[in-house]
Chain A
């Protein structure tokens, strides 16, 4: 019933507009009945809805409910973990779904046009904070509103995506968290795991902004260490297996970057590499669960928890310009002992000690 009333309330707001919005707020805040004078100014519809609201929903309106709307480009383990982390992080901070938090979530199922529609829908519902997970969804939200605060997360290159112009002092209504992976450290990790490494293979989606910036970093890091990089591209998750097959025999290790397409097909990638007896080193720690030998980075659940800090700051009324964009923290080393053993890789004692998570 409560939910129905709050929906009704939102609809009425839309029909009557902002001015009425204020009227009702004043009326409710002062908890007075409608005076003769005010009534003259209000239309029949307004009268009806005001009465309806006073009767049904006084509790809903008085209790402060925070509205957070989350738009995600596609559903896959890493991004879902981000969302779950956000939800749990908010709960830990006292914003609990169903109590004082209205958490709306939509996924564009990989289609930017739907991401735009979701953005319009969300902005129209006037939430307190909008959260965009991954680049196109964040861009769609930012293009749709200049007033509602937008927090982006799991965006690798916020400057390139023009979400913000200044990382330190975001000037508009937008700030957030970048998930730029420590690619240079990944290269070092691969050198440790494969002694005498000369050639790195990488499979990625050239259509994904996140992945392309990671590959650029990979190439420059590899060049510094005189390593060769062989690329294979996969436009969709169904292509990942084939792409991996093509390069598997030419390389000593395959690097799985933070890439939504690769993340969706990580099992296929690992399967091919197991057949070719080469290890997979991942940019995202979630890959280790699927059989990658090692990965250094952050758990996307942690990214979600860190995103919750941003959402909390905005809900508590902090100005966007005072919340700088930051890069996701965490240097978790995940190792998969079983995978290493089956490939005949011995992991050094110091590595095992450093690891934050061991999968046996």
Chain B
């Protein structure tokens, strides 16, 4: 009854035989023991289970694991590449964008996807992009601040190699 799948999770190929009904979030949490992805509502509303599927935020409680076969999944565990915090992680801490921490992984991943698309998002852009991720603790004020701060950091980081390239040319 198991169906073989291979999913690239955080850059690593992971193969397993799974029940067709197994949700992606359960595949991540139970099969792979990546427990940073949380379950908050089961109905696609809260976004605690948000992961990136080929770079796009998806709610992993509303996808079957078999639907991710052959694709790339990124979870919170991959954000700090090589041990260095991603700017969004650093900004969430610096701006007090989290309290209980339960929504935080999903919030950060949705934010990362937003910042890939929009380098300089407005408050409204951020609030709209995050409107599928519920936070019960922070009232969103500091989350919005954190995303803006991460954008500034990422833009500054991008500007450094660009400036270096300009000097070279």
| Mutual binders A and B | no
